[in-house]
Structures are given as structure tokens and as C-alpha cells.
Amino acid sequence: MTAPTAPTVSTVSLRGYTVVRARGVSFLLHRRSAWAALGLLVALAATAVASLCLGESTVAPGEVLKVVFGQPSPHELVVGEFRLPRVVVGLLVGTALGLAGALIQTVARNPLASPDVVGVSWGATAAVVGLLAYGVVGSTGQVPYAAVAGGLVAGLLVYLLAWRRGLHAQRFVLIGIGISVALSSLTSVFLTKGDGFQAQAAKVWMTGSLNGSGYDQAGWLAWVLLASVPVALWAARAQRSISFDDATAVGLGLRLNRIRLGMALLGVVLASCAAGAAGPVDFVALMAPQIAVRLARSAQIPLLCSALTGALVVVLADLLARRLLAPTELPVGVVTGLVGAPYLMWLLIRSRRGGS
Amino acid sequence: MPADAESVDTKSVDTESARAASTGTVDRGSGHRLEARELTLAYEARTVAEKLSLRIPDGRVTVIVGPNACGKSTLLRALGRLLKPARGAVLLDGEELARVPTKQIARRIGLLPQSPSAPEGIAVADLVARGRQPHQSWWQQWSAEDEAAVAEAMERTSTAELAERGVDELSGGQRQRVWIAMALAQGTDILLLDEPTTFLDIAHQVEVLDLVRRLNVERGRTVVAVLHDLNQAARYADHLVAMREGRIVAQGPPAEVVTAELVREVFGLESVVVPDPVTGTPLVVPGAPWTATTDA
């Protein structure tokens, strides 16, 4: 038997991390995630300003910034009253969808899981279309509440059916897909049976649109996002071990079921709220985490980058939706679908090639 | 700060083995920090084991053997709180495991499951570093102590030179050493290993088992391993536990336990048991293989 040897190395180089240590406090910073977040923030600001500049009348960026920072400007009405609320709502909806997608994909350990897939978006859709088509909700002001309620009910239904002594990732996704199919059929029934005129309004809502969005949608969505910050910070820490297999994660002291439930619940709430504000904007929650993880090259889905990517995608898509066929304005969901689907396919093909 | 209070607590509980390790002498088998009492283990409706009791000797290598589906892995899962017993209890330092917060258990018991999976593209050092999770908190993500523990774990498992490599690119043997390094970095006195040599060729099997033995002797770690190979179990175990159909058939030092009768009773196999020419431990040689003449 060899004699005990004292370890000679006492430092470890953690590739890609910067260690910050002071007075018993220490943080690990994933450098590329930080740079990616910074880059996304700059791109988001630029896109938002561009969106405020462009429209039926073009406004110079300097004038736009004046309006944003509350200085007097001749463009207050166009930029401040028409364009700004729309950009703000798009930003909040995108952030919520990006974060929701990241949380749900982390829990499901599956890049193809997202609120659109696991029934939340279709729950919101079925509720809104049903209530609109039968004239239960008359005003658009009540639509967000119906969407949130529908999304939550669908999400909880998926949970209850998937929960068997713990939440199993595969079962969660499969049952979610099943519920989605059932709810989309239900939505079709509502559309054909309901009042014709109302059904038309419901169809526009179903594609996901920021048309006519205002601060009444932005306010409560902002509060929900603010309230989810502490949960997201806690989740980011747990992500370091939740990305292992179940046994290893529990062995590392993770309360797996509680953390999964918490993360998935927050994901469902955020996705429902986003659907409530703008209708189901497809592909964003599915796409944003996958773009973010490739930008940051991290071992787990980066939550902040994913939220910023979601915001960037929605704001950019809405700009395109407004300007592509101007003066006709497309719903933002059409553009995210058109751009998102091929891009995701390209990413999947590229990563498959890179891995082999 | 509650996290600190807990870690101080754990250190005071941590008894013979740690002191023994620091003085270089290992005091073996003086207690039983981990113990199963009248366990009934079941998956859904299927009962795997009933009224099973087992005391794990401290500072020793305990190996559990038995035929497929005898409940050996299930028992290990229960010892590592991965499976909640239907009845009975697992005791850790006299406390019922189900009542101890899982993070505190993670500071005392490290476990390596049968087929662990790592996040895609993770680097070796990053993986081993995650073994420190139970000692960390939101505001203490990478202390000097964490770094020292990870460095030592990688040194001991000879994985330091792999630090920057991706876990995906490693060979089976290297990967298993990395996983053991992670369990080691966790800094627990007790290690549970579920078939750590499966999928490895014979050279890597020996390498991994030698490593486990070294950790036990040099650091006084208590090891509980499930092994498939009876001869390897006899070579590396201080305490051998033979199971069949959810019951413990025999336990004790391999030299006393492994006999032709036991092999027949546990595995239903006719064999001759001879002394291992290298170690002198019992070596099980199965009966003559089938040939046309013996059949006729």
C-alpha cells in the first residue's frame, strides 16, 4: 500500500469562471454568460430605440431619447403615447417568456419543452377564445385575467396528472403535449360554435399581438417579473446541481421535488401572464433559452441571458411585424413563428454537427 | 448564519475517522454511524425487502453482493435516502435519516449512483467543484476551503491533469475517476457506491477498486459498495454482505463468509472455493463448463 501523500496542488483553475472573494463572501462568475448578458442588453437597447424611431413617420434617435427621458419634444404623442407603451409591453412579455422557457426547460431537462408545449399557452388560448366566442367577456380589458386563469389551470392539470411520487421530466412533457392537443381541439370547437364576429376577434388574439398594447398590460406584468427576481436568483443557484441525474442531485443535498415544483410553477405563472398581456406569442419561450445557452456556452441554461434574449426577440419581431408589410401591421406571433422555427432548426442541426 | 452553525455541528459529530486520518492511524470498526433498522423497502406495490437490518462498520469497506434483483441496489438507495423506506428506518448518527435535512445528510454521506449523468459540455474541474454544493450557499459560492477540497480530490484520483477537458471526451475509466473525485470533494466520511465498476474493462475495474481502498485506508472513509463480481468483493471488502431475495443471508469478513455452500445458497451455483493465489482471499471458481460429454 502506498504511503499517504500530502496534496501538492491547492488551487483549481475553473475554466471560464472568475472568482470574487472577500470577507467570507465568495461568488463564481461565469465570464461568458456575463459578456453575453452585456451584449444582449446593448442589442436590446438599440432595437428598442430603433423601434421607437421607425414607423409611419421617422423620428431621429436623439428626439426619441428626449421623449424616453421625459424632456419636452414635438414627438411626444407619436413616440411617447403610441410607440413607447408597445415597446415596453413587448419587452416585458419577452422577458417573461424567456425566463419561463428557461425554467421549464431546466425542470424538464429537455430543450423541446416550453410553456407552448406543456399546455400553458393552449390553456390560456382556450380560456380566452371560449369566453370571447360566447360573449362572457365583452371587453378586452378582461382578456388578461381569463388568459392567466386558463394558463394556470392547464399548467396545474398537467402537474397533477404528471405527479407520481415526484415530478418526472418525461411524463411532464408527454402529458403536457397531450393536454395541449386536447385544449387546441377545444379551442376549435369554441371558434366554430361561438358567435361569428367575436370569433374573429378571438382569432386575432390567438396569433399573439402587441397591437394596441398599453400601460394597463405593462403594469401588472412588471410587478409579476419583479416578484419573481428572488425566486429566479434562488433557482439559478439550484441549477448547478439540478442539471445532474436525480440521484446525484439528491446526493448533493438538493430538495429535488420542492425545487422542481417551485421552478415549474414560476415558469407557468410567467408564461400565463405573458399570454394574458399579448396572447400566445409562439416559439419565444422555446427558442430564447436555446439561443442563450449557445451564446453563453454554459453547462446549464443561463436565466438572465435567456430573459434578455426573450425580450430582444419579441421587441425585434414586433418591429418587423410593424414595418414588413407597412402600413399593414402583422401580429408579432406571426413573425416569431416565421423567424423562430427555421432558426431553431438551424441551431439543432449545427449543434448536432459540432458534437460529433 | 444557520449554514455555518450546521457545518460546525457536523464537524463535532465527525468522530474517530477524521481524527484517525489527521494522525495517520486509522481506528477501524469501532462504531456504526450508519445503520438500517427493520427496513421494509418497496417500489409502488412490489416489496423488495422486509424487516432488513444492517449495521455498517465505521472506517471499513463494506461490500454488498447477491444475484440480480436481490435488492442490493435498493438497500443502497435506502441508505442514501434516495428511497424512503415503507417501514423501519435508516439511522445516521442515531438520527432517523428521513428527519435529517437533506443538505445536512449531503455533508456526511456522499453517493455515486450506477449511471450518473452530467450536463452536456461540462469541464472536469467544474464537475468536481459541484461536489461542494452542500457546503456552499448563495453568498459562499467558492471559498478557499472549497478550492482546497476540490484540488485534493482531483489529486487523489489523478484527475488534476484532466481538469480542463470536457467530461464528454473522457474514456469510461477516466470518467468514473472524475465522478469519484466529485463524491470525494463533497468531503463526507461515508461513501456509497452503486456498482462503480460496471461498464469498465478489467484494468479500470482494478484501478477504481484500488482507489476506493486507498481512500478507505489513508483517509479512514467508510465505504459501502454494491459489486457484481464476487471475487472482487472478496478481495476488497473488510465486511461482506450477501443478499438473496431481499434478505441478508450472511455477513462478515470474506474469509469466513465466502464458501461453496454460500455460493450455492445465494447464487444457486455449484463452485469450488480456493485461496486467491495473490491475496489469499477466497476465490470462487464455478463448476466445469458444459461439454457434450458431460451432458450425455
Lowest pLDDT segment from A190-199, A222-231, A328-337, B38-47: A190-199
Q: Would you state the pLDDT for residue A132?
A: 79
Give the torsion sign (CA, B73, B78, B83, B84): positive
The SS3 assignment for B67 reads: coil
Per-residue pLDDT at B19: 42
Rounded CA-CA distance B156/B160 in Å is 9
State pLDDT tens for residues B154-191.
Answer: 998 889 999 999 999 998 889 999 999 999 999 999 99
pLDDT at A38 over 70: yes
Q: Report the SS3 class of residue A106.
A: helix
**What pLDDT is stored for residue B109 in this prediction?**
96
- Closest A-chain CA to B149: A10
Instruction: Give me the interface pTM, i.e. the ipTM.
Output: 0.85
Closest chain A residue to B82, measured at CA: A247
Chain A residues with a Cβ under 8 Å from any Cβ in chain B: 1-2, 4, 7-17, 19, 21, 24-28, 233-234, 237, 240-241, 243-245, 247-248, 250-255, 297, 299-300
* Chain B residue closest in CA terms to A30: B126
- B266 CA: distance to closest CA in chain A (Å): 28
Q: Outline where A109-214 has alpha helix (H).
A: 120-133, 143-162, 169-193, 196-206
Which pLDDT value is given to residue A10?
61
Long-range contact set of residues A53-58: C-beta below 8 Å, sequence gap at least 24: A54/A319, A54/A322, A54/A323, A55/A82, A55/A83, A55/A322, A55/A323, A56/A326, A56/A327
A103 compared with B288, residue with greater pLDDT:
A103
| Residue bearing the bigger pLDDT, B226 or A23 | B226
Contacts of B119 in chain A (CB under 8 A): 243-244, 299-300
B194-206 mean pLDDT: 90
- Report the pLDDT averaged over residues B210-239: 93
Q: Do A9 and B105 touch (CB under 8 A)?
A: no
Mean pLDDT of chain A: 84
How much is the pLDDT for B275?
A: 94
Whole-angstrom Cα distance, residue B98 to residue B78? 10
B224 close to B191: Cβ distance less than 8 angstroms: yes
Question: Is pLDDT above 60 for A8?
Answer: no
pLDDT, tens only, A49-90: 999 998 888 888 888 888 888 888 888 888 888 889 889 999
* The pLDDT of residue B180: 93
Instruction: Answer whether residue B25 shows pLDDT above 50.
Output: no
Q: Distance between CA atoms of B63 and B240, rounded to whole angstroms?
A: 5
State the average pLDDT for chain B: 87
What gap in Å lies between CA B294 and CA A124, rounded to an integer? 73
Crossing angle (nearest 10°) for helices A169-193 and A143-162? 140
* pLDDT (0 to 100) of residue B198: 85
* A216 compared with A87, residue with greater pLDDT: A87
DSSP A334: H
